Structure 1
Amino acid sequence: MINELNHHIDEAEEIYILAAFIMESGVKKILPSLRKASERGADIRILTGDYLCITQPKALRLLITELPQAEVRLWQNDGRSFHPKAYLFRFTSGGHVVVGSSNLSASALSGGVEWSLSAASDQEQLFEQSAEAFMKLFQHDCTIPVNAISIEMYEKEFEAFHSVKEVHKVWNDSEEEAVMFGEPEDQEEAVTVMEAPALGEISPREAQEQALAALEETRELGYDKAMIVMATGLGKTYLAAFFARQFKRVLFVAHREEILRQAKASFEHVSHEWNTGLLTGTEKQLNEDIIFASVATLSRKHYLDQYDPKAFDLIVVDEFHHAAAVSYQKIINHFTPSFLLGITATPDRNDGKDVFAICDGNEAYNMNFWKAIQNQWLAPFHYYGVYDETDYSKIRWLSSGYDQEQLEQVQLREEMAEKIYAAWNRHRQTRTIAFCSSIRQAEFLADYFSKRGRNVAALHSKGHYSRHKAIKELHEGVLDVIFTVDLFNEGVDIPPVDTLLFVRPTESLTVFTQQLGRGLRLFAGKSHCTVIDLIGNYRNADVKLKVFAQNPSDFERDNKNVVPEVPLGCEVQLETQIIDLVKEMGKNRLQVRDRLILELEELILDIGRRPTYLQFHRMASIPSIFIKRSFGSYVNLLKSAGQLTADEEQVADLYKDWFIEAEKTSMVKSYKMVVLFAMLQRGPENWYRKITADEIAFEFHHYLTEKKYRKVIDFSDKKGKSLWEFNEKKVAKLLKDMPLSKWSGSSGGLVKFENDEFWFDIPEPSTEMHQDLYDLTKQICEYRLEEYFEKKASRSKMN
């Protein structure tokens, strides 16, 4: 086996290793070949698991140390066994698959009794199917990146597990050979294709017309990127199709094959003349005029390399809130289209990963479901919060959600099903989609409802009930309820649905928003959508109601009101126990300092290093505005969390007032921070020293005119035309009149502007302090500039 693997590694351009358990001995066997492959630019991805803590931390550490360019991820056990073993290789032509019983250990690769099937390199279809299955696991929510921080955390679990379990931390050859636990489960999701809409004349609806006009305006202003925010049900995909008529070649990217097939049908409905094709795990049409590509397939090196960066005039990224993920970034960074369009219904950072920077801060159009309901483009909702007495604090929390086995123990009870049925029967209308946590819960509730004379279906990846049949029967009123598990989050529309039943903890506010959208489509005779939601003390229970607020950020900061203001025709009714629960959870959540520190620690785990201020702002699920309110500065947050070096702590203490000034100085325009940015260009030893307005002028003007959104927001007239071309005297005069004199007058002596010279009057740093002071200041500057332009862009769209 070892000879087989090394032979293929030496020739492969894509190397995917899926091993339930990885041992240091196995890594060492193939490491020399992997190093050479990495040096020649091969795409290396390795997935292993923490099941029974057999994977050795030393093995993981060896992989990330010796193969820094490889992507390594760890599957975190969610109650199921994780036991796959497969080695996949893509060559210049063809692929090779080795599947069998061998984990990545010396005994399994060289001396143990193992069976593996090595498929001939001409089996292209087998390789593609295997690679797609690998990518689904590799990108699964149960996986985390392997880095120094995540290894350290896993190592603690590893040590704790082996201190009480009769499983060895160190294996001899015979023991390695004997290790075998559990059986793999089918974890694939079934792929079901929706029917294409009937062909015929189609024209944009009002919301789409407004969005198209906004896109035209943004192109006239010179933008080559934009994000469109449109609530589920307003036709984001059709909007993209209408917009695409102006371009010759188009790439449409999404993360699920079902979304791609529906998008393809929508585009063909808009124009019969388009030559369209799919690039997915099952179809490989690479040269059509409009390509609908799955992220899992296109992000692979083999397929990206087949496209010139300028191959497409327009790239549309569907569900743009995913775009900060590594796989999306590989695609976005590879291409240089004439225009990049991101479309989404949920752009905020409820779950982190802000996408503002990806589209250069250009949110061309925003029509959330609050405004859409006001415009009568979506149906109103009547929301009923039903109290769930389950104590979720006693259920283990994993990175991807609650422990499935523990959660099912409390969900699969007769009294719980009775409570759910009673609430549904009390508030329901005619057609219901019920969102469940697991397949077992969906089946359990379907059986309970069925025994009470209700016509129901449990729809999930392992079921025998056809999705098409279930949707048709619900539409026709044959079915009362469809119980489903995450199959109707994105890309599926059933307009007659007038009742939504949530019987799962809301772990992701983005998913909750998507699922809510399934019931808001307009339909003849449908006056509103009833939403029945079980609420307990699970994570995010106290903030989920902000989804219904007109301004979610303001609602979260307003700790007095539990029930948000909702659009005309909508209602929110909460049982008394829920109001008390949310208030109590809100009080606990008011310990914002602890939340910020926890969020910082989670980000360090996610990216493997301390995040910069800008990274925290983009990726954290808590608004960064809380940092200066709670800690005064990001530097002080880092210090309080124990994340500064000893040298940095000295800088933090000596320059505490300066960091707070840089964080808190008011900004009607961006000019103060642009001045600081310009001064920072002079480097660690000189940035704070005296400078004249004339010397700042060029960098100041260049920064504000380099990006279209900066110029439009802060350096243009109402038509978007720049205030003036670069003229040193004019810019210098502006600097003297505005940021330099105003900042000097409001800084309490830390900022000085005298005799036409500007400087920061801070203690002279020692040679050892220069770099740390510079780096920490630069982080604040970069954050404040992006946060400023993001906020300004958002407000302009609201107005």
Structure 2
Amino acid sequence: MSDLRLITSNLIQDLTKLSSDATSIYWVTAFAMKSGVKLVLPSLKEALSRNAELKILVGDYLYITQPQALELLLQELPGAEIRLHKSSGISFHPKAYLFRSENNNHLIVGSSNLSASALQKGIEWSLLAPAAVSGPVFDEAMDEFMKLFYSSSTISLNKETLATYASAYEQANMTVPLSQKWSEQEEQEVMFGPSSSESTVNEQEELYVTETAQLIPRPAQVLALEALQETMHDEYDKALVVLATGLGKTYLAAFFAKQFKRVLFVAHREEILNQAKTSFLHVHPTKTAGLYNAIEKNKDADFVFASILTLSQKYHLEQFHPEAFDLIVIDEFHHAAAPSYERVIDFFKPKFLLGITATPERLDNKDVFSICDGNVAIRIHFIDAIQRNWLAPFHYYGVYDDTDYSQIRWIGNGYDEEELARVQLREEMAEKILQAWIQRKQTRTIAFCSTVKQANFLSHYFAQSGYRSTALSGTTPRNERMNARKQLESGKIDIIFTVDLFNEGVDIPTVDTLLFVRPTESIAVFTQQIGRGLRLAEGKSHCVIIDLIGNYRNADTKLSVFTPEPTDKFELKTVQTSLPKLCSVNLETEIIDLVKEMARKAVSHKQRLIYEYFTLKEEMGSRPTYLDYHLKSGIIATNVKKEFGSYFGMLKEAGELNEQELEAYKLYKDWLEEVERTAMTKSYKMVLLSYILSRGVVRWHEPVKAKDAAPYFVDYLTAKEYRKKIDVIDTDLKKATSLIERMPMTKWSGSSKGKITFDNGEFALNFDVVDSVNEIVYEWTKEICGFRLHWYFEKKGEKMP
């Protein structure tokens, strides 16, 4: 198979042959049928038996894919990674089969989906290209596959997501005939073209002499470096650093890298990699640096800057030794919840893993704290940075937008582009935006839009009104984008309208006005965009933020970004009291009324907690533990005990407990709530409970004496440096025994309202545990105990400036 070849029938023969010696198999297909899956199963099972890497992406477009086909893939290929592309009505037609082997690589692209007809006798055309013919196109195809495979439009296939799809499939095919759905969608695309998703582009940040000449850390970086040194001393081997946009995250990583020999820097965009490479070489001019991506494969440099799309592929990971790097830096760490990052993190064994980001927003429900074990070395919110004069103050103006967004269809992660355009591309809307801007603007403005159409429309309208404006998007040539930036900096134009162009990695310090004319769909992106205007610059006293607010999703919570402490509920008074001097938040009366009304109509907090539980369960494919829920759900987990008494009280209300578990909850509800709610000024109560549980499911509820618990107590609190520092304990066992008696045993028995006793030196549960539910109560108690210990040390260890 050394030549380019057209395949017009029996594609199954080529798929089988190429699978026989492949080390990596990546397939993407718009539709999958049970008949087609049965044909390919034997060769795929054989490949898995050889430990080949197998990834399959199947589309749900128009609900043509059969649930039985997905079920077969899930059951018969347990070693494969299978994901489902959620099209949300947008056409999805790719059919590509990629094979990497030790001798050659092959790419098949054509018209054949996974069905018996398409793979055998149907009229289908496919082109088979060996790597010798396709050249760099093969690597490009692998990267494009990975980008699509782990995009926000895909979900992992597991029993939970399969059940959800099967239900939707049944409903869709019962209510609307397939031919009708097909014809309506295809007709729309023929007439208007497919809906295009927004493109996100980063410019490579220009280096400013004032920032790089001295090559010494800025004050914020000094604080972060000190915090990282402390966290390493405390024997952590991974940490997250949260630095507001504009405080120099990349240079922080470069300064931190001085104590490591070899460094791997991982990011999701080429622009970020090139910028980071330049920054690191400024700090380390004698070191070697190289890229590892689809085009360049430099794996031997001191500093390797790798694209996650390339590096996360099994073949490329295996080009490295797991201990090849002393330090691994994950940039824009809020992207790291994707399985591609987890694969890289799980593969390498560095001395230290550093995650850096400006926006690890729990409110976006893609939490990254679990990847660094909840260890936040330091968090400097942009509010903290403004208070320290590291960033510019802001004057925020919320302008009422009377558009009824409830009438616009929500698709996947955003509003329907065409429906949104109909309400946005109106002259009366443009005039309102123009007047709001004229009334409050300063000298240089970036305006964030929903679509390219809106950016062009508003730019034209502003130009007609006598203002110097331009519109930029991902399709704008790079030289035009760079020229527009320079014109804005020099004052030759007044405003740039953009679509997600200045979110990450780009700064124009002289920008002093931000204009938001789009619904806020992501709190994290909103935070990043605010950061674009907060850079300090000569002659700049503050940044004006003009934001149109209507009844769109997140409107009632978005302003919580102005509070340094994470919260999922907006209160204007709380925001205003947390503002630094010279900052202000001004909302029109209609907005205050709108937010109150949205909060009144919103899903109750209880329902939100349950909804996020089910979302996480679907992602994991099984019931999350309490600690899973805390680390991965995007929810502030301490709210669970406020709303439900305990995590298992929430599971009861969610209908997640079986008959035996309901009996256990009914009998031991008070005990579970006691473990959840007992006060913890120190970790001692939960360490004692951890010892009690360490005796196993049979003996855990038996009485315990302090002298028996003392060795476990001392070992636990001295096992990690951070525990020693947070809760100091004398290692002498007699003194530890006395401490246990005086503190957790006496205090907990006194506050437990009779649930615990401490008499004659024995600490005991003041209730019996029924044998039939003993194991359930034991495991539940263990989950709560584990969560509370993690939460305690996480909060005590987190450093704020």
Using the size of structure 1 for normalisation, the TM-score is: 0.92
Q: Does structure 1 residue 745 correspond to structure 2 residue 758?
A: no
- Which residue is 1:153 aligned to? 164
- Which residue is 1:277 aligned to? 290
| Cα offset, 1:181, TM superposition | 9.2
Q: Which residue, out of 63, 68, 82, partners 1:72?
A: 82
Q: Does structure 1 residue 163 correspond to structure 2 residue 174?
A: yes
- Which residue is 2:13 aligned to? 3
Describe the shift of the 1:191–1:165 C-alpha distance in structure 2 as closer, same or farther (beyond 3 A).
Answer: same
- Which residue is 1:30 aligned to? 40
Q: Does structure 1 residue 789 correspond to structure 2 residue 789?
A: no
Q: Does structure 1 residue 680 correspond to structure 2 residue 705?
A: no
What are the within-5 Å matches in structure 2 for residues 755-774 of structure 1?
Answer: 755-766=760-771, 768-774=772-778
- Which residue is 1:775 aligned to? 779
Q: Distance in 2 between matches of 1:446 and 1:56?
A: 46
| Cα offset, 1:632, TM superposition | 0.7
**2:95–2:111 Cα contact (<8 Å) kept:** yes
| Cα offset, 1:48, TM superposition | 2.1
Q: Distance in 2 between matches of 1:221 and 1:622?
A: 27
Which sits farther off after the overlay, 275-284 or 342-351? 342-351
Q: Does structure 1 residue 643 correspond to structure 2 residue 653?
A: no
SS in 1 for 2:569: helix
- Which residue is 1:415 aligned to? 428
| Cα offset, 1:251, TM superposition | 0.7
- Which residue is 1:530 aligned to? 544
| Cα offset, 1:259, TM superposition | 1.1
Q: Which residue, out of 565, 578, 581, partners 2:578?
A: 565
- Which residue is 1:714 aligned to? 727
Describe the shift of the 1:22–1:415 C-alpha distance in structure 2 as closer, same or farther (beyond 3 A).
Answer: farther
- Which residue is 2:486 aligned to? 472
- Which residue is 2:8 aligned to? none
| Cα offset, 1:388, TM superposition | 1.4
Q: Which residue, out of 129, 151, 171, partners 2:140?
A: 129
**1:684–1:774 Cα contact (<8 Å) kept:** yes
Describe the shift of the 1:451–1:16 C-alpha distance in structure 2 as closer, same or farther (beyond 3 A).
Answer: farther
What are the within-5 Å matches in structure 2 for residues 480-519 of structure 1?
Answer: 480-519=494-533
Describe the shift of the 1:101–1:478 C-alpha distance in structure 2 as closer, same or farther (beyond 3 A).
Answer: farther
| Cα offset, 1:65, TM superposition | 1.9
Q: Does structure 1 residue 604 correspond to structure 2 residue 631?
A: no
Q: Which residue, out of 352, 362, 365, partners 1:352?
A: 365
Q: What is the letter of the counterpart of residue 459 of structure 2?
A: A
What are the within-5 Å matches in structure 2 for residues 345-424 of structure 1?
Answer: 345-424=358-437
Which sits farther off after the overlay, 315-324 or 663-672? 315-324
Q: What is the letter of the counterpart of residue 176 of structure 2?
A: K
- Which residue is 1:621 aligned to? 634
Which sits farther off after the overlay, 224-233 or 189-198? 189-198
Cα deviation digits, residues 84-116 of structure 1 (max 9, x gap): 111111222542111111111111111111111
Q: Does structure 1 residue 95 correspond to structure 2 residue 105?
A: yes
Q: Distance in 1 between matches of 2:527 and 2:748?
A: 42
Indicate the percent of aligned positions where both proteins have the same amino acid.
53
Describe the shift of the 1:408–1:160 C-alpha distance in structure 2 as closer, same or farther (beyond 3 A).
Answer: farther
Cα deviation digits, residues 277-296 of structure 1 (max 9, x gap): 11123322111110111222
| Cα offset, 1:130, TM superposition | 0.2
**1:589–1:595 Cα contact (<8 Å) kept:** no
| Cα offset, 1:308, TM superposition | 1.4
- Which residue is 1:541 aligned to? 555
Q: Distance in 2 between matches of 1:500 and 1:407?
A: 21
SS in 2 for 1:712: helix
SS in 2 for 1:769: helix
**2:556–2:570 Cα contact (<8 Å) kept:** no
What are the within-5 Å matches in structure 2 for residues 191-202 of structure 1?
Answer: 194=204, 197=207, 200-202=213-215
- Which residue is 2:733 aligned to? 728
Q: Distance in 2 between matches of 1:418 and 1:144?
A: 41
Describe the shift of the 1:571–1:85 C-alpha distance in structure 2 as closer, same or farther (beyond 3 A).
Answer: same
**2:291–2:305 Cα contact (<8 Å) kept:** yes
Q: Distance in 1 between matches of 2:696 and 2:570?
A: 38
Describe the shift of the 1:559–1:269 C-alpha distance in structure 2 as closer, same or farther (beyond 3 A).
Answer: closer
Q: Distance in 2 between matches of 1:254 and 1:695?
A: 50
Unaligned regions of 5+ residues in structure 2, if any?
Answer: 1-10
Q: Distance in 1 between matches of 2:364 and 2:119?
A: 41
Cα deviation digits, residues 254-282 of structure 1 (max 9, x gap): 12221111111111222322210111233
Q: Distance in 1 between matches of 2:793 and 2:656?
A: 28
- Which residue is 1:718 aligned to? none
**2:468–2:493 Cα contact (<8 Å) kept:** yes
Q: Distance in 1 between matches of 2:642 and 2:430?
A: 44
- Which residue is 1:656 aligned to? 669
**1:352–1:618 Cα contact (<8 Å) kept:** no
**1:191–1:257 Cα contact (<8 Å) kept:** no
Q: Distance in 1 between matches of 2:599 and 2:485?
A: 39
| Cα offset, 1:222, TM superposition | 3.6
Describe the shift of the 1:335–1:705 C-alpha distance in structure 2 as closer, same or farther (beyond 3 A).
Answer: farther
SS in 1 for 2:526: helix
Q: Does structure 1 residue 46 correspond to structure 2 residue 56?
A: yes
Q: What is the letter of the counterpart of residue 124 of structure 2?
A: E
Cα deviation digits, residues 31-88 of structure 1 (max 9, x gap): 1222222233222222222221112222222222222332222222245311111111
**1:192–1:467 Cα contact (<8 Å) kept:** no
| Cα offset, 1:374, TM superposition | 1.1
Describe the shift of the 1:561–1:369 C-alpha distance in structure 2 as closer, same or farther (beyond 3 A).
Answer: closer
Q: Does structure 1 residue 230 correspond to structure 2 residue 235?
A: no
**1:455–1:480 Cα contact (<8 Å) kept:** yes
| Cα offset, 1:638, TM superposition | 0.4
SS in 2 for 1:223: coil
**2:688–2:713 Cα contact (<8 Å) kept:** yes
| Cα offset, 1:562, TM superposition | 6.7
Q: What is the letter of the counterpart of residue 494 of structure 2?
A: D
Describe the shift of the 1:407–1:779 C-alpha distance in structure 2 as closer, same or farther (beyond 3 A).
Answer: farther
**2:104–2:130 Cα contact (<8 Å) kept:** no
Q: Distance in 2 between matches of 1:118 and 1:437?
A: 39
Describe the shift of the 1:748–1:310 C-alpha distance in structure 2 as closer, same or farther (beyond 3 A).
Answer: same
Cα deviation digits, residues 367-420 of structure 1 (max 9, x gap): 221111111111111111011122222333344223333333322333322222
Cα deviation digits, residues 395-451 of structure 1 (max 9, x gap): 333442233333333223333222222222222222221222223332332333333
Cα deviation digits, residues 574-615 of structure 1 (max 9, x gap): 111101111222334482112212222222222222221111
**2:512–2:543 Cα contact (<8 Å) kept:** yes
Cα deviation digits, residues 3-35 of structure 1 (max 9, x gap): 111222222222111111122222111112222
How many equivalent pairs are there?
782
Describe the shift of the 1:262–1:113 C-alpha distance in structure 2 as closer, same or farther (beyond 3 A).
Answer: same
SS in 1 for 2:698: coil
- Which residue is 1:343 aligned to? 356
Unaligned regions of 5+ residues in structure 1, if any?
Answer: 716-722
Q: Distance in 1 between matches of 2:621 and 2:577?
A: 38
| Cα offset, 1:191, TM superposition | 6.3
Q: Does structure 1 residue 138 correspond to structure 2 residue 149?
A: yes
Q: Distance in 2 between matches of 1:782 and 1:93?
A: 49
**1:397–1:403 Cα contact (<8 Å) kept:** yes
**2:28–2:57 Cα contact (<8 Å) kept:** yes
Q: Distance in 2 between matches of 1:615 and 1:598?
A: 15
CA RMSD, Structure 1 to Structure 2 (Å): 2.7
**1:386–1:534 Cα contact (<8 Å) kept:** yes
Q: Distance in 1 between matches of 2:453 and 2:103?
A: 43
Q: What is the letter of the counterpart of residue 514 of structure 2?
A: L
- Which residue is 1:798 aligned to? 800
